[in-house]
Chain A
């Protein structure tokens, strides 16, 4: 009985978690009429960090600056900017920190490559260990 109840509660929590991921802060007056443009704006907004909350994208954040940046992204799209140009426009002003995913550059090689190296070392250690225990 207890197990069943635990499962139900666990399931409910999972369900809430699943849907909570879809929250966004875009207000009706911000949405562009052109659907394709709006979709592009949403995609870009999901990759742009809210500089105030720092762990949220501007698409999810209610902070005033996030709203300003959402409007700016939409204005730039309307002006005919390409996605890459919009990202450049923002990083010129706020630095790479505004991107939620750090770009692959000489200064960030370690960040991207080290986990892979550690994974290889880990697999190697397990492999050797396994071999040795097989012998004994």
Chain B
């Protein structure tokens, strides 16, 4: 009886070990924090728009069609890296993309878009970073997929890579 009891800590140890092993081997980024806005309505906000004369009013933009929301800035190197994929979303998928320009210099943004191309249908300006806080953004670039009812279905933190591009493409086709 006593000898049998000795096995219990070993089983316990193996159990913990297998949990650790599972967490180590499954592909995940421990620094990526799940968005609290998933399956919730997009935050309401109003701000200036970069290339348009009228103000950006979120309630007018969201809720009619699927939209990709991309937080970007010209000073952010990974934003430049992902730009070709953002452009491909616009060209190949024809999805409407709103680019929220985070704490940036509007002049530099215009130059940047002239050089690299403009995939965005509208560019609201987030001068003090308050819109980003409402979206739970903590490190740009961040990309959100919003469905035609104005509900956030997906969030990606960091630059869009080829793999992420394919993943988001599939998701865009799947959601309504």
Contacts and interface: CB of A to CB of B under 8 A. Distances in A.
B139 A92 contact: no
A101 to B, nearest CB: 16
Interface residues of A, number: 14
B129 A51 contact: no
Given A51-B138, A65-B138, A93 B133 contact: yes
Interface SS of chain B:
loop
A96 B103 CA distance: 26
A95 B34 CA distance: 8
A68 B130 CA distance: 8
Interface string A40-78: 000000000001101000000000110011001000000
Interface in A86-120: 91-95, 97
Interface SS of chain A:
helix
B33 A51 contact: yes
Counting contact residues on chain B (CB < 8 A from A), the size range is 10 to 19
A98 B135 CA distance: 14
Interface of A: 51-52, 54, 64-65, 68-69, 72, 91-95, 97
Interface of B: 31, 33-37, 103, 128-130, 133-136, 138-139
17 contacts: A51-B33, A52-B138, A52-B139, A64-B129, A65-B129, A65-B138, A65-B139, A68-B128, A68-B133, A72-B130, A93-B37, A93-B135, A94-B36, A94-B138, A95-B33, A95-B34, A95-B36
